[in-house]
Amino acid sequence: MTENILLLAGRVAVITGGLGDIGFAVAEVLAENGATVAIADIHSADVAAQKIGSHPFRYTQVDVADSKEVDDWFSEVSDSLGTPTLVVANAGLVEIGFGLRISPESWQRTMDVSLNGAFFTATSGGRRMVDQKLEGRIVLMGSWAAENVHADLTAYSVSKAALRMMGKCLALELAPKGVLLNEVAPGFVNAGLTGKFYEKDPEEREKGRRLVPVRRLISARDVALQVLHLCHPDNVHMSGSTLLMDGGLSLMTGREDVAPEDA
């Protein structure tokens, strides 16, 4: 799909977790294609200013686990920029922990941010589009871990599995109104917390790369381009779908398998 600077002209896009590597890449790609972009994150305005720099992004500090903060943010953006018709629920938490050892507080916080936050974002945006009879797109940031067991990422994996079903239920409700909701599900992304881990341990990065059948790690921009694909005005038939971009990881029988060498 060829990028076009006017592709999303006149559209307002909102992105949660917008200061993270993936969220910021999504903001850049949507802006490059003409959208007016507002981002939210948990960090202070001072931290945001350093990250945003000269980018024309509107920033608001929002805790997505608080439904009122999310709704107030949508009202603020709507009043100042126009009703968002491109909604990207990207905010999430990744905490390493086996199920028997994770604290109740960590479990709850993961669900509050990764699942509830996505629900509040999708429904707040969806209601506004439906009320104003506007067609739009909602994209949830999922993961290949939603259907592949990661015992050391129990809370994260469960939140992403629940996110997937939540998305399907909302997609069915919203589709007749012209609002299409889909999920992007990346595999090993060389960005964010994983990217920092790989940067400190190049051997682990190489091990991760070799585990992927296509022999490539995913960049934040790779993910952003798939979000753009789901937001494309001509993409009128996908709803309730998961765009799995794991390089074939889910084809493997176990995480410790090494993808077979090319024939």
Q: Which amino acid is at 211?
A: L
Cβ burial, residue 236 (10 Å; 0-12/13-18/19+): exposed
Q: Which residue has the tokens 């709803």?
A: 239
CA–CA gap between residue 85 and residue 89 (Å, rounded): 13
- The yes-or-no verdict on residue 1 having pLDDT over 60 is no
Residue 50 exposed, middle or buried by CB count within 10 Å (0-12, 13-18, 19+): exposed
How many angstroms separate the CA atoms of 223 and 233, rounded?
Answer: 18
C-alpha distances in angstroms, 5 versus 2, 32, 168?
A: 10, 6, 31
pLDDT confidence of residue 253 = 62
pLDDT at 4: 46
pLDDT of residue 3: 46
Angle at 41 between CA 180 and CA 190, to 5 degrees: 80
Domain ranges for the chain: 12-192+219-237
239 in helix, strand or coil? coil
pLDDT of 258 strictly over 80: no
Find the length of the chain. 263
Per-residue pLDDT band at 64 (split at 50, 70, 90): very high
Encode pLDDT of 104-147 as tens digits: 999 999 999 999 999 999 999 999 999 999 999 999 999 999 89
38: enclosing H helix or E strand: strand 36-41
Q: What is the mean pLDDT of residues 181-204?
A: 90
* Pure H helices in the chain: 21-32, 45-52, 67-80, 104-110, 117-131, 154-174, 192-200, 202-211, 220-231
Domain 12-192+219-237 CATH class label: alpha beta
Asked whether the predicted pLDDT for residue 175 surpasses 70, the reply is: yes
